[in-house]
Each structure stands twice: as structure tokens, then as C-alpha cells.
Structure 1
Amino acid sequence: MKAVDREILRLAVPAFLALVAEPLFLISDAAVVGHLGTPELAGLGIAAVVLQTVVGLCVFLAYGTTASVARHLGAGDLRAALAQGVDGIWLAVLIGTVATIGGVLLTPWLVGAFDTGAEVARHAETYLAIAFLGTTPLLVMLATTGVLRGLQDTRTPLKVAVAGNALNIVLNVFLVHGLDLGIAGSAIGSVVAQVLSAAWLVAVVVRAAREHDAPLSPDRAGILASAHAAIALVVRTLALRACLLVGTYAVTRVGTESTDVSIGTHQIALTLWTFLAFALDAVAIAAQALTGRALGSGDVDSTRQLTRRMVRWGWGSGIVAGLALAAVSPFIGALFTSDPEVRSLLVPVLLVAALGQPLAGVVFVLDGVLIGAGDGTFLAWAGLVVLAAYAPAALWAATLPHGLVAVWVAMTVVFMGARGVLLSWRARGDHWLVTGTPVPR
């Protein structure tokens, strides 16, 4: 088991560092733009929500590619693994092109949907119209990262993430303040950093493809197969994101506290919960890669053993995360706000979230295992079932005394609990243990 633990750590640690580095693109933009003024910062906030939604819905480009590439690697066919990865990259280019054209054309409408003031809307449109030009590079980064993870390489994406973020900060400061380009300079700097980061990752994949004589041209059948496999993961992602949106909506209906206090507290708690999700998701990424490789080699027994071991890792990392969150809950609110009401209400909310971290660790690991197994159809249906169970529970919880805390209890017990039950039930069965690889190109 020590060898398995070393393998998990080898993949999970760089993956965690890269996951933490990803949000720094927008954080560094906010730090630079924030010094321009509040309207500019608000405009960036609106643009960020739109961009994160578009890119978040395309996370299947990383997850699906990791699983398919790892399967071929496990089967000992590195050429087919790279060919599958190249198909995923071409799919990213196609989706990115459509998203870029549509995003630029629809920018005024997307910003207008938030019904902000004219000045904030102007800054949001300026940033978003430029930032959409980086959509294709961002999606290519997702796909190439998925290829490298499938090849059991999480170090290269980490190097690119660190270098890309460093370049983004330098360009932002230079263009925004040095050349006085304002919020447009921030968007330009981010796009340039994203293009160069994507080029670096593509160069790594192309070099490997050439070494193993894998085709680099677009393959219609392969791209369509990748797109078809992605549909289920898109449904899964939409369902889970809808749960988080329902939870936020429920918080706006809480009647026992000030709405501003409830929403502010919820936003801080959700930010911290999301950060911990990044940390726990690192083990899930290792699970995707290792499960795909084991099933590709036809080794069901090893897959079972890996799953059991990674579930223990999920429990352990969740316990550590929960203890850490509980320990900082009385103090961490001061980093986000000076409002005493928010800081006071944040403590019980974070304690509820802390209690749910061990379960979250297991849920993320099992999610990664089933993604690595290519069990997307089940994950899609499970996501819809969880949404159907959580939505009424969250809305009802908002009507209870201490409504915000009750909503977080619903999130822990119903949202994460339902996912845990469904994923554990699936993992105990045999339907997901499909060995071998898809039909080769």
C-alpha cells in the first residue's frame, strides 16, 4: 500500500497546487483593477461571473480527456492515448471558437442581464469583450491538462499554472498602470498569459505525439466520440452548479437575519468551502488518472483496491480540512469583513461546513473514480436526483429559525449526503468496472 500511497501523492500534490493557482488569474486581476476604483472592480466582478460559468461548464474537457487517455495508457497503447488527447484538444478549439464568437457578440446582452448602473456596465463590457478572446486558450488549457493528467503527469500543468499566473500579474501591472490602459489592460494581460500558457501545454503534447507517431490532424470520428462522451459530464456539472445556485437563492429568502448579512456571510462561507473543494479535488484527480489506467489494463482487482485506498485518503484529507476549518472559524471572518454581525454569524456556518468535510472528501474521491471509469451517464442521473432532493430541502431550510445555518445543514446533509449515498452505492456494484479501451482510431 505504500507504493499506492506514493503514487497518489505524486499525482495529487502537484494537482492541488495547480488547482489553487487557477483562481489566481482572476484574483490578481481584481487586485490590480481594484486600485482603479470601485466601478471598475464591480465591472470585473460581473465579467468574472460570466467567464467562470462558460469555462466551468467546459470542465469536461479535462475530466473526460483524463479518463480516456489513462485507459489507453493502461492498455499499453501510448500512441492511441495521445491520439485520443489530440481529439480532445481539437474539440476544445471548436467549442472555444464558438464560445468566443458568441461571447463577443452577446457581451452587451450578458452584462445587461445583471442590471447594473451604466458606469459599471461599461467597464464590464470592456473587460468581457476582450477576455472572451482568451476562451479558446482557456479551453485548450483544460484539454491539454486532461491529456497530461491521463499520462500521469501533473507536474507540467503545475509549472504552466505558476508561470502563467506570474506573467499575468506582471502584464496586468504594466498595462493597467504603466501604460494607463485601465481595465482593458487587465483583460489584455490575462489573454496574453492564457495564450502563452496554452501554447506551452500544446507544445508538450505535440512533442509527445510526434515521438510516438500519433496523428495531429483533426479526426472527425474521434472528435465526435469525445463530444458524445462529454454530454453526460455537462449534465452532471449543470446539475451540481444548479444546486449551488439554489442554495444561494434560498439564502436570499432567509427571514430571520438581515438579507445583506445573510448573503455576505454565505458568500464568505462558500468561498472558503470552494477553496477546500479544490484541495480535496486533488485526490479526485489522482483517482481519475489511476482508475482509468487500471481499467484500461483490465485489472479489476487493482481498481477495487485503489478505490478503497483512495476513499481512505478522502476520509483523511476531509478530516484534516474539517479540523482546520473549525479551528479558524472564530477568526477568519476578520480577513473578509469588519461587520460584526457577519463575523458572528459566520462561525456556526463554518462549523457546519467543517463537520461535512470528511463526507465531502469521500464524495469527491468517488466522483473522480467514476469519472475515471467513464461512468458519465450514471453521474448525470445522480446529479439530477441530488438536485431534485436538495432544492426543496434548501428552500424549506430557509424558512426555519436560524435560516442561514439551516441552509448549510441542508447542504451538508442533503446535497453532500445524497451524493455520498448514490456514489457509494454505485462504487459497491460492478456496472462501472468496464475494462479495456474504446475502439481505436
Structure 2
Amino acid sequence: MDKKIFRLAFPNIISNITVPLLGMIDIAIAGHLGSAIYIGAIALGGNIFNMVYWNFGFLRMSTSGFTAQAYGARNFGEAMNVLIRSLVVAVGIGLLILLLQVPIERLAVNFIKSGPETIDNVKFYFRIAIWSAPAVLAMFAFNGWFIGMQNAKTPMVIAIINNALNILLSFTFVYGFDMKIKGIALGTMLSQIITLFICIGFWFRYYGRMLKYIDLSTVLD
């Protein structure tokens, strides 16, 4: 029992440790751009996204709980229903965030007490990175589902891949194309979208056989 708990807990601990790394990586890259303005803009922009996404942490937790309940009962049809419902809600909220990005940006900027140049760079970062909102929230749902299925290793691997892609893409755009803060934002955004597709690939690899349990007539039950 202790070994089983450890196998579930340890990867989850590693996954949680990697969460703040995305922002730290962006700040580290910004630190080499030659101005403290970029560091401040990335830190503030990252805080905006942390506040936005924190509100939807329930997607991962609730998905994990309901999936674990279905898995324990060996009700794989319901486990698939949970995933479908969670993904629909996650993508729906993500699209709503995209529709409301202008008022969200204005509201967030109103709370920032900094110089105009820093605020301008915060806006640059926000307006690019926001486009991965549906992907980020969809990964919340997928990761919660994986954990509910007693698979904590896959979310850990996904988190590591996300960070590796973020480093690679951000470095490429910043130093290869001299895009500065826009390059950091683009690297972050693309890494999250690409990671979602990798996440979907993992799902089909390990759980594709569960497609046969889908019954759309019971999804809304």
C-alpha cells in the first residue's frame, strides 16, 4: 500500500514543482535582455495568468475525484463521460477567456503600479500568451483525468515536456529572431499548445481502447 501511494504521490510532487518553472524560465530569459523592464513585465504578466488560471484549478481537482470514483467502480463508461464533460467545460472557459481578454487585460493593468514602458511590455506578453488559454485548461482536465485513473507519471512527463519546449522555443525566438519579450510570450504560448497535442497523443497511446466505452447519450446524465 505504501509503495502504491508513493508511486502516485512522487510524480505528482514533481509535477507540482515544475508548475512555477514556466514563469521562472521566462524571467531568467528576460534577465538577459539588457533591461530590468523586461524582467518586471514578465513577472507581472506571469502573475496575471497565475491569477486567471488559479480560479479554474477545480477542473483538475474535480476531474480527478470523479474519475477516481468511476475507476474504482470499474465504470469505464462514466470515466469517459467525466473526461468529455471536463474537456468541454475547459475549452469553453478557455474560449470565454479569449473573448474577454480585452476587459481582463484592462482590469489587470489597472492594478499594476509601474512605468508606462513596463506596462506596454506586460500588454505585449499578455496579448500573445493568452491565446493558449484553451490548451492550458484542457491540460488541467487531462491531468486530472490521468491522476484519477491512477496514472500520475504521465502528468509528470507532460509537465517536463512543457518546460523543455518552453525553454527551446523561447530561446529560439528571443536569441534567434531577436523578438525579445514577444518571443518569450510566443514560446510560452506555442509550448502549451504543442504540449496539449502531445498530451492527446499520450491519451490515445495508453487509453485509446476506451473509446469503445463512449456513449454520448449518457454524457449529460
Band of TM-score, shorter chain: over 0.9
Asked if 1:50 is matched to 2:48, the reply is: yes
The alignment partner of 1:149 has SS state of helix
Partner of 1:180: 178
Query: How many residue pairs end up in the alignment?
Result: 219
Partner of 2:78: 80
| Alpha-carbon distance between aligned partners in 2 of 1:5 and 1:203, rounded to the nearest angstrom | 31
Cα distance change on mapping 1:127 and 1:18 into 2, 3 Å = same
Deviation of the 1:49 alpha carbon: 1.2
Deviation of the 1:57 alpha carbon: 1.1
| Alpha-carbon distance between aligned partners in 2 of 1:123 and 1:99, rounded to the nearest angstrom | 20
Aligned mate of 1:8, from 5, 9, 22: 5
| Alpha-carbon distance between aligned partners in 2 of 1:71 and 1:19, rounded to the nearest angstrom | 23
Partner of 2:25: 28
Partner of 2:214: 215
Cα distance change on mapping 1:57 and 1:216 into 2, 3 Å = farther
| Alpha-carbon distance between aligned partners in 2 of 1:201 and 1:216, rounded to the nearest angstrom | 23
Do the aligned residues in 1 keep the contact of 2:67 with 2:145 (CA within 8 Å)? yes
| Alpha-carbon distance between aligned partners in 1 of 2:96 and 2:27, rounded to the nearest angstrom | 27
Cα distance change on mapping 1:27 and 1:208 into 2, 3 Å = same
Do the aligned residues in 2 keep the contact of 1:44 with 1:124 (CA within 8 Å)? yes
Deviation of the 1:220 alpha carbon: 6.9
| Alpha-carbon distance between aligned partners in 1 of 2:217 and 2:139, rounded to the nearest angstrom | 17
Partner of 1:196: 194
Q: Which has the higher contact order (CA 8 A, sep 6+)?
A: 2
| Alpha-carbon distance between aligned partners in 2 of 1:11 and 1:170, rounded to the nearest angstrom | 29
Deviations 1:283-328 (A, max 9, x none): xxxxxxxxxxxxxxxxxxxxxxxxxxxxxxxxxxxxxxxxxxxxxx
The residue identity in structure 1 corresponding to 2:213 is A
| Alpha-carbon distance between aligned partners in 1 of 2:115 and 2:64, rounded to the nearest angstrom | 43
| Alpha-carbon distance between aligned partners in 2 of 1:133 and 1:105, rounded to the nearest angstrom | 15
The residue identity in structure 1 corresponding to 2:40 is A
Deviation of the 1:208 alpha carbon: 5.5
Deviation of the 1:186 alpha carbon: 0.3
| Alpha-carbon distance between aligned partners in 2 of 1:24 and 1:161, rounded to the nearest angstrom | 10
Higher alpha-carbon deviation: 136-145 or 203-212: 203-212
Partner of 1:100: 98
| Alpha-carbon distance between aligned partners in 1 of 2:99 and 2:215, rounded to the nearest angstrom | 25
Cα distance change on mapping 1:218 and 1:63 into 2, 3 Å = farther
Deviation of the 1:70 alpha carbon: 0.5
Aligned ranges for residues 248-397 of structure 1 at < 5 Å?
Answer: none
Q: Which runs of 5+ in 1 are unaligned?
A: 222-440
Deviation of the 1:203 alpha carbon: 3.1
Partner of 2:129: 131
Deviation of the 1:132 alpha carbon: 0.8
The residue identity in structure 2 corresponding to 1:28 is I
Aligned mate of 1:205, from 194, 203, 208: 203
Aligned mate of 2:109, from 111, 129, 135: 111
Aligned mate of 1:19, from 16, 20, 27: 16
The alignment partner of 1:114 has SS state of coil
Deviation of the 1:79 alpha carbon: 2.5
Give 1 or 2 for the bigger CA radius of gyration: 1
| Alpha-carbon distance between aligned partners in 1 of 2:164 and 2:218, rounded to the nearest angstrom | 35
| Alpha-carbon distance between aligned partners in 2 of 1:15 and 1:87, rounded to the nearest angstrom | 23
Aligned mate of 1:160, from 158, 161, 173: 158
Do the aligned residues in 1 keep the contact of 2:84 with 2:219 (CA within 8 Å)? no
Do the aligned residues in 2 keep the contact of 1:167 with 1:193 (CA within 8 Å)? yes
TM-score calculated relative to the size of structure 1: 0.47
Cα distance change on mapping 1:151 and 1:138 into 2, 3 Å = same
